[in-house]
Amino acid sequence: MTMRQIYETDLYSNRNPTWHEEDAPWKASHIEKIIHRNQLSFKNICEVGCGTGDILLNLSNAFPGVDLCGFEIAPQAYARAKAKERDPVRFFLKDFLQDSEDHYDIILLIDVIEHVEDYNAFLKAIKSRSQYKIFHVPLDLSVQSLLRGWPIMNLRANVGHLHYFYKDSILATLKDCGYRIIDHHYTASRLELPNQAVTSRLMRLPRRLCYAANRDLAVRVLGGYSLMILAS
């Protein structure tokens, strides 16, 4: 079974019945933050791999008058998104690169590229489709995750992560694919999201203390963070 078939069948949905929609307000807030910080001017936003659509629905409240659309290949996630569709947010059960030729002001790729088998080809193909791209990429590679081993393998088995990054490797990947990095910041998923595992809750204080002392070192050693990136 290919990775794409995992999303097009019931396999991913059975393992992740909420499609992580409970994380959408938190992710949308970080997208809003990087947009405002860079004073972007835009009329539309497209999310590739929009899941159940809740990120776009949250952004529609933050940016009234902006057209938003989401593309999704998983029928189960699309059905949930379509049921919540409201003007000016639209959802499509389509492969963005194969079934659309439209150009957008901003394309969102939120926790997507780690699932794509040939992510370099994907990044190169999508580059010309918008003025700006906003990525959210989990930084799965850390000293503690490599020492324990099983966290990375669990991500592969349960949520379909095929590729694993740390800050420098994802920024270098984007540059190699022709992107210009405009801005980026860490997001603390293991600190800020609810329903964390016991081990993550135990690591909250060490992560906070180390992060206050040296952000890059804390992320690389202890993990628990993702990277929000604005590129063109």
Residues 135-163 pLDDT 10s: 999 999 999 999 999 989 998 988 889 99
pLDDT band (50, 70, 90) for residue 1: low
pLDDT in tens, 177-228: 999 999 999 999 777 776 666 666 667 777 888 888 899 999 999 998 999 9
Query: ∠ CA(27), CA(39), CA(177), 5° rounding?
Result: 65
Specify the number of domains making up the chain.
Answer: 1
Residues whose CB falls within 8 Å of the CB of residue 131, separated by 6 or more in sequence, listed in order: 42, 104, 105, 106, 232
Report the pLDDT value the prediction gives residue 219, as an integer from 0 to 100. Answer: 94
Q: Which of 66, 52, 60, 62 is nearest to 24 (CA)?
A: 52
Residues 23-51 pLDDT 10s: 999 999 999 999 999 999 999 999 999 99
CATH of the domain at 119: 3.40.50.150
For 31, 74, 160, the CA distances from 59, given in Å and listed in that order, are 8, 21, 26
Average pLDDT score, the chain: 92
> Looking at the domain assignment, is residue 145 inside a domain?
no
Asked if residue 206 belongs to a domain, the reply is no
- At 196 the pLDDT is 65
Token duo for residue 90: 């639209």
Structural domain harbouring 63: 3-138+150-191+226-231
On whether residue 12 sits in a domain, the answer given is: yes
43 domain-assigned = yes
Residue 85 lies in a domain: yes
Look at residue 174 and give its three-state secondary structure: helix
In the structure, what pLDDT confidence band is assigned to residue 7 with cuts at 50, 70 and 90? confident
- Name the residue with tokens 């057209």: 67
